[in-house]
Amino acid sequence: MGRSKLAKFAAIAERENVIEPEGELYGQLKGKWRDEFFENANPLILEIGCGRGEYTVGMARLYPDKNFLGLDIKGARIWKGSSLAEEEDLHNVAFLRTFIENLEDNFAAGEVDEIWVTFPDPRPKDRDIKRRLTSPRFLDLYAKVLKPGGILHLKTDNQMLFDYTLEVLQERQPKELLYTHDLYQSDLQEHTMGIYTTYEKRYLAEGIAIKYLQFKV
């Protein structure tokens, strides 16, 4: 790696708005995100598999009175969101590099107000079903960290994943399940704040309808 690349990575490693798995803070903020990280009592909202974090930062820009955390395992992607948040001097947003499987390492029961799962990989093969981010084991994890009455949102372009998720949910009988197969032709678009993820912009440009659901745990 060249000198300038090394310097860039050193700068990234010091970012205050990115929590890395090897870093001192990983796991230490469980139950303390509001008091010790954001230093306020505002609601805590997660984006699961946030990629470049455009949606996380977009929400933070729109709602300065809420705290936002984007979670993804791909560091190079979340650094983009981290840079954007730094450029805009946003203090209500940060990123956590982690596998979603390890959610409970970083969040206490009931600590989270809302979770957005945005354009998760559909994982169409049977052998990968349990790796889908809306499979029962992930829904169980989300339910543990969400407060009672907390909300889970899903946005996807993928009909198979959407139907699969509805099927899984209907077995669990969630409270107040709302859904649409074409978000931007539906009143439910009011819930999605008029901002788009990186993948969503691509799908919309291709004319693909966005499927959306939300429910209370």
Ligand X SMILES: C[S@@+](CC[C@H](N)C(=O)[O-])C[C@H]1O[C@@H](n2cnc3c(N)ncnc32)[C@H](O)[C@@H]1O
34-42, 103-111, 112-120, 158-166 -> range binding ligand X (CB under 6 A): 112-120
Q: Give the total residue count for the chain.
A: 217
Closest separation between CB of residue 64 and ligand X, Å?
Answer: 22
Packed helices 159-172 and 136-145: angle between N→C axes, nearest 10 degrees:
60
Do residues 50 and 196 touch, judged by C-beta distance below 8 A? no
95 touching ligand X, by CB under 6 A: no
140 is in an annotated binding site: no
List CB contacts of 53: < 8 A, sequence separation 6 or more: 47, 70, 72, 77, 78, 80, 81, 82, 84, 85, 95
Question: If we measure between CA atoms, which residue out of 171, 14, 151 comes closest to residue 86?
Answer: 14
Among the listed residues 121, 128, 140, 182, the single catalytic one is: 121
121 touching ligand X, by CB under 6 A: yes
Judged by beta carbon, residue 51 or residue 58, the one nearer ligand X is 51
- Positions in 125-154 near ligand X (CB under 6 A): 133
Task: State how far the alpha carbon of 16 is from the alpha carbons of 8, 13, 51, 112, 153, in Å.
Answer: 15, 9, 18, 21, 27
- Positions in 40-79 near ligand X (CB under 6 A): 49-51, 72-74, 77
* Residues annotated as part of the active site: 121
The residues of the shown chain that bind ligand X, judged by CB under 6 A, are 49-51, 72-74, 77, 99-101, 118-121, 133, 197-200
Write out the binding residues for S-adenosyl-L-methionine: 47, 72, 121
